[in-house]
């Protein structure tokens, strides 16, 4: 999909349910097992971000034909990439397990989803146990990523100080943001993120890096992680018995934004927390595919043959046996009634919102709302936050080979190249005359980075 390729990284210890979550929100099938390193290589899949499509407000839901993803009843399903990487264990920053490879794979993700076994039935290594405190997983995973980055930076800190001095005293002085970009670009960091780190720490140029202690560098890494690797925690296995409910309440209380201890680092470790049951979503999705129930992603309930017969007197669904019926009843009681859904799609939504992307629908006519390749609202781009008209124009020209010369807002105003594009906006693209869109093509620059 052309545009900014937003990638969500699915992380966590072995046996926490990462692969189950991956299977729940994608159409792929990652290996699922109760032992470390089930997923040896990064497992890539396509999931979908749900958002309101403008076709609904324009009364064109039936005519809407997306080139990528799909749209149903005004709900646009925008594809994005999900990475399920090898299990992480304590000591990964020092090379334990598959730590180095795991941490290297993180560079490709924009936001992280941390799958936590909230039942407390697996320890930090993913081994079966009882009474484990799952809040420890949130701490050590953050600390492992932090240690990996800190160690890489601190071992060359004296060289960084010398480089900054050179930057400040050069004929064309450069600032700390440029220095950070030079040091952090290997983590997939962008110039705007490096500048955001300086603003977050409220640093004023020139900065006396010679006076910085190890604690100051740790604070720098904390700020970097908060901006570069926002983390959404998914409390999985919420339908398990035992201490699960107590564990959920404990974690929710600790990371509640209204009660957080700002002197701690807790507010940096978690952007959002979502309670989920990935196994329930997989089970419901499988039964729906086999025509045993009616169920759509994110639904608050499902319908069986008996439900439909009672409501309408007819049903094309298959009958279910007692074993399946018992499990469905448990899912309804322990998951859907309590939490409103299985939660897995809320995780995807939360992860995307962490990046505050700009979604835009370019059309060639504000009357027909057809995209540049035909079809009502056929084209939808996901751009970075604060994307400008020039960002969109260059995407159309370079990635799509569409000779766009100007872009108009919905009110007919020709927008300036530095104008920011509003999220979920419709814009009209103007091209050179006599352009045959049927010969325009995608050049394959789907990974264009605009952020």
Q: What is the pLDDT of residue 437?
A: 45
Boundary (domain end) residue, out of 208, 224, 240: 224
Half-sphere exposure at residue 125, Cβ-oriented, CA atoms within 13 angstroms: 6
Q: What is the pLDDT of residue 433?
A: 56
Tell me whether residue 65 is in a domain: no
Q: What is the pLDDT of residue 235?
A: 98
Tell me whether residue 234 is in a domain: no
Boundary (domain end) residue, out of 181, 207, 224: 224
Tell me whether residue 435 is in a domain: yes
| Same-domain pairing of 285 and 360 | no
Using the predicted structure, report yes or no on whether residue 445 has a pLDDT greater than 70.
no
Q: What is the pLDDT of residue 286?
A: 96
| Same-domain pairing of 389 and 431 | yes
CATH assignment of the domain containing 414: 3.10.20.30
Count CB-CB contacts under 10 A for residue 94. 12
Distance between CA atoms of residues 380 and 221, nearest Å? 35
Boundary (domain end) residue, out of 314, 342, 370: 342
At 180-223, the pLDDT tens digits run 999 999 888 888 899 999 999 999 999 999 999 999 999 999 99
Mean local confidence (pLDDT), 363-369: 94
Using the predicted structure, report yes or no on whether residue 63 has a pLDDT greater than 50.
yes
| Same-domain pairing of 308 and 362 | no
Tell me whether residue 265 is in a domain: no
> With pLDDT > 90 as the criterion, what percentage of the chain qualifies?
61
Q: What is the pLDDT of residue 361?
A: 95
Tell me whether residue 262 is in a domain: no
Q: What is the pLDDT of residue 451?
A: 32
User: What is the number of domains present in the chain?
Assistant: 3
Highest mean pLDDT, choosing among 253-257, 278-282, 351-355, 409-413? 278-282
Distance between CA atoms of residues 407 and 185, nearest Å? 32
pTM for the whole thing? 0.87
C-beta separation of 47 from 79 below 8 A: yes
| Same-domain pairing of 338 and 393 | no
Mean local confidence (pLDDT), 139-168: 92
Mean local confidence (pLDDT), 66-71: 89
At 223-246, the pLDDT tens digits run 999 999 999 999 999 999 999 999
| Same-domain pairing of 391 and 421 | yes
| Same-domain pairing of 165 and 187 | yes
Angle at 188 between CA 185 and CA 192, to 5 degrees: 75
Full domain range(s) for residue 326:
279-342
Average pLDDT, the chain: 87
Handedness of CA 247, 248, 254, 259 (dihedral sign): negative
Tell me whether residue 87 is in a domain: no
Residue appearing with tokens 């992280």: 112
At 1-54, the pLDDT tens digits run 555 678 899 998 888 999 899 999 997 654 555 434 344 455 788 899 999 999
Distance between CA atoms of residues 187 and 360, nearest Å? 28
C-beta separation of 231 from 271 below 8 A: yes
The H-assigned helical ranges of 68-213 are 99-105, 135-154, 157-169, 176-184, 191-200
First-last CA distance in the chain: 16
Tell me whether residue 108 is in a domain: no
| Same-domain pairing of 313 and 385 | no
Tell me whether residue 446 is in a domain: no
| Same-domain pairing of 373 and 424 | yes
| Same-domain pairing of 435 and 370 | yes
Mean local confidence (pLDDT), 380-395: 88
Cis (ω within 30 of 0) for the bond into 133? Answer: no
Count CB-CB contacts under 10 A for residue 254. 17
């Amino acid at each position: 999909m052309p545009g900014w390729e937003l990638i969500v990284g699915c992380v966590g210890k072995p046996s926490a349910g990462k692969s189950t979550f991956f299977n729940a929100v994608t159409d792929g099938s990652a290996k699922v097992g109760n032992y470390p390193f089930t997923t040896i290589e990064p497992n890539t899949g396509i999931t979908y971000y749900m958002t309101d499509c403008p076709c609904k407000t324009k009364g064109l839901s039936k005519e809407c034909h997306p080139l990528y993803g799909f749209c149903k009843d005004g709900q646009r399903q925008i594809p994005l990439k999900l990475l399920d990487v090898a299990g992480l264990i304590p000591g990964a920053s020092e090379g334990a397990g598959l730590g180095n490879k795991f941490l290297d794979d993180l560079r490709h993700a924009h936001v992280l989803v941390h799958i936590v076994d909230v039942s407390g039935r697996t320890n930090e290594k993913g081994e079966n146990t009882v009474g484990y405190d799952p809040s420890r997983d949130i701490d050590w995973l953050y600390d492992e990523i932090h240690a990996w980055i800190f160690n890489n930076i601190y071992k060359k800190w004296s060289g960084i100080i010398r480089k900054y001095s050179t930057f400040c005293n050069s004929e064309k002085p450069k600032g700390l943001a440029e220095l950070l970009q030079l040091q952090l670009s290997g983590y997939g960091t962008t110039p705007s993120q490096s500048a955001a780190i300086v603003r977050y720490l409220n640093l004023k140029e020139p900065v006396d890096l010679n006076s910085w202690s190890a604690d100051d560098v740790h604070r720098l890494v904390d700020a970097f992680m908060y901006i570069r690797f926002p983390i959404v925690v998914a409390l999985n296995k919420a339908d398990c018995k035992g201490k699960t409910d107590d564990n959920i309440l404990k974690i929710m209380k600790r990371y509640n934004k209204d009660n957080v201890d700002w002197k701690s680092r807790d507010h940096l470790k978690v952007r959002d927390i979502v309670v989920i049951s990935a196994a329930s979503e997989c089970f419901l999705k499988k039964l729906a595919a086999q025509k045993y129930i009616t169920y759509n992603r994110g639904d608050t309930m499902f319908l069986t043959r008996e439900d439909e017969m009672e409501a309408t007197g007819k049903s094309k669904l298959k009958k279910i046996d007692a074993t399946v019926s018992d499990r469905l009843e448990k899912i309804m009681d322990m998951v859907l009634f309590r939490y409103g859904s299985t939660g897995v799609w809320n995780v995807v939504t939360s992860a995307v919102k962490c990046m505050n992307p700009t979604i835009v629908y370019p059309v060639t006519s504000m009357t027909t709302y057809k995209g540049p390749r035909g079809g009502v609202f056929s084209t939808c781009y996901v751009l970075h936050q604060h994307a400008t008209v020039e960002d969109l124009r260059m995407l159309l020209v370079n990635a799509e080979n569409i000779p766009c010369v100007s872009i108009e807002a919905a009110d007919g105003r020709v927008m300036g190249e530095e104008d920011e594009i509003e999220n979920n906006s419709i814009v009209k693209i103007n091209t050179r005359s006599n352009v045959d869109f049927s010969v325009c093509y995608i050049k394959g620059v789907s990974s264009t980075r605009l952020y």
